[in-house]
Amino acid sequence: MSILVSKKTKPIDVRVILSPAHSVLAAMAVICKPAFYTAAEPWLRSTTKKMTVSQFENVRTVFRTIDKKLYPSREFDLFADYLSEIEKIDHKSFTLLKELWRGFFMPEWDRQPYLKSMADNLNGREWPMKVKSAENVVQSFLRRPVPPFIGRKLGEVDEIIFCPSPFLELQAAHFGSEKTMWIFISSDPRKLPMRYEPIQRSEVARLTSALADESRLQILEMLTAYGPMRSQEIIEQLGVSQPTVSRQLKQLKATQFLFETRDGDASKIFDLNHLRLGEISHLLDTLLSKENARMVLNDPRLDQPAELRKFLNEDGQIYKYPNKLQAQEMIIGYLVEKLEKGKKYTEKEMNELLNKWHTYKDPARLRRDLVDFGYVKRTADGSEYWLE
């Protein structure tokens, strides 16, 4: 839990939780919007196509305006517990929610067993810079300017709950209380929000290089002016060969400046990702901020491989031990650098040194792995340790 201070000096309570009930209800609200068929919510778009006509119409009928009595009375870890509550209140809604959960939502939820650890990870992270307002909280977490549809709802909130969801990319809701803002974020680990290290020049350069070409900029201009376009239409407008346009589109798509969908005839349709453009602006502002620059100069992680940095905090301490053997060996190799060659350590001295370089209080595991990976030798009784 983080307590931050807003411009009006009132406390803002910030949490990251999992709540499948809130996530499903937020998804229902999106489905019932008149024009939700956009590339911004690909999982929902794909899922509704799998629904029968009857299921889809029932969703629109029951959830066009979500009755407040359906709002979860608390944060349910299990959707089944929420269903038990709803069964006593509204049998029609219960029947439909049960059908949708079992047929569509539950399989997707179960495909992401890491959700709990993701929420714990995000809750344990420190804010990358001073945050003073609700808007800054959201901006720092999302790593981009606050989208207008969220900014308009911030109002007088004094609690912000971020909720990783397998079903939604980015949505916001109040659930009856104007003082609590629920923000649903994608649970895709590749889109993990709220970075744990400062922005580096290479990140910005990779994105800006995609814009360093007149043809690619012209494609973005065309999509801004005309909206979604087929690849053939883009080729005709540019007046260049198909392979050339394909290369340009591929780079813009790889850097997420474009959304790609397919029409019924299998032809590709491209649309502009306006949020990505906003993210670039935010990345540049953050890169050139004093806070970020100082973090870069003083952050010990930046001298380490990218794979290792995932497990280190801003002080260079290991805050999480990886599950994969290859990553474990990388961690152990990192700890070996902290040992003095030629020195023999007692078990107590080893524990003191290892406790200095990790935060989760398990020096015994690290001692054992130092030996098992062949970096360190120890006496038979474990009273002394030394580098191999």
Query: Is 84 or 388 the better-scoring residue by pLDDT?
Result: 84
pLDDT exceeds cutoff 50 at 2: no
Q: What is the pLDDT of residue 130?
A: 52
Give the whole-angstrom CA distance, residue 323 versus residue 170.
29
- CATH code for the part of the protein at 301-387: 1.10.10
**pLDDT tens, residue by residue, 294-307:** 767 777 787 888 88
Give residues with Cβ within 8 angstroms of 281, minimum separation 6: 144, 145
Residue 227 Rama label (left phi>0; alpha psi -120 to 50; beta): left
pLDDT exceeds cutoff 60 at 1: no
Q: Nearest Cα to 322, choosing from 336, 308, 333?
A: 308
Instruction: Give the bridge partners for 12, in sequence order.
Output: 4
Structural class in CATH, domain 201-276 = mainly alpha
Query: Is 116 or 5 the better-scoring residue by pLDDT?
Result: 116
pLDDT > 90 fraction of the chain, expressed in percent and rounded: 46
Q: What is the pLDDT of residue 346?
A: 95
- pTM of the predicted structure, to 2 decimals: 0.55
Domain pair 201-276 / 301-387, same fold: yes
Q: Residue ranges per domain, the chain?
A: 2-191, 201-276, 301-387
pLDDT exceeds cutoff 60 at 8: no
**pLDDT tens, residue by residue, 213-233:** 999 999 999 999 999 999 899
Q: Nearest Cα to 75, choosing from 120, 125, 20, 117?
A: 20
